[in-house]
Chain A
Amino acid sequence: EPEVTQTPSHQVTQMGQEVILRCVPISNHLYFYWYRQILGQKVEFLVSFYNNEISEKSEIFDDQFSVERPDGSNFTLKIRSTKLEDSAMYFCASSAEGGSTDTQYFGPGTRLTVL
């Protein structure tokens, strides 16, 4: 069964450093998403991406964040200058076609720890 994969599973970085979180969505999917979950809090939407551009983003997704689909298989989230409060589990998801009946399939997550 196809699945979304994410690397690395755990990333530790120093405050102020840049990090890139990587995701490989399901191969025939067209919509891509990032969510995050700060420890003890709800899973929160960050951004959705379709047709090589951001389709929606939350207020969390400020200028420190960017997303990219550098090739036909990867989808990345970059945080330019990490802050302590960026420590969270980051989930990538993908879906086939958008719309009300669409299902988003999630990866296992990357745990980001900012020291």
Chain B
Amino acid sequence: AQSVTQLDSHVSVSEGTPVLLRCNYSSSYSPSLFWYVQHPNKGLQLLLKYTSAATLVKGINGFEAEFKKSETSFHLTKPSAHMSDAAEYFCVVRGVLSGGYNKLIFGAGTRLAVHP
């Protein structure tokens, strides 16, 4: 079965320092992976997605993620945090044909705090 594990429930960084949000996936097939962000009182917004093209995926707001099959990881990074990056981040994998192709399977989320 498909699943994702977000390794940190909370991450705190200072403004201007790098961000690393960790995600490991489990999949029997070549996965489709996503990162979504949720700001307070807002919907879930897609940051980026991996669908078996380039392993380094660039998203919005300066975020990027690298798909590493050998490590079953899809960590989200940003070189320099901004106060507006404070939000909850979800690592997501798509289900497979035999088990729900159009459903998304969410990780538990990582809450990112950015301090001045």
Contacts and interface: CB of A to CB of B under 8 A. Distances in A.
Nearest to B107: A42
Contacts of A31: 102
Contacts, number: 59
A35 to B, nearest CB: 8
B90 to A, nearest CB: 7
B82 interface: no
Interface residues of B, number: 25
Interface residues of A, number: 27
Contact of B106 (A42, A58, A108, A109): A42
A4 interface: yes
A103 B46 contact: yes
11 contacts: A33-B103, A42-B107, A42-B109, A43-B104, A56-B101, A58-B100, A91-B44, A98-B101, A98-B102, A101-B49, A103-B46
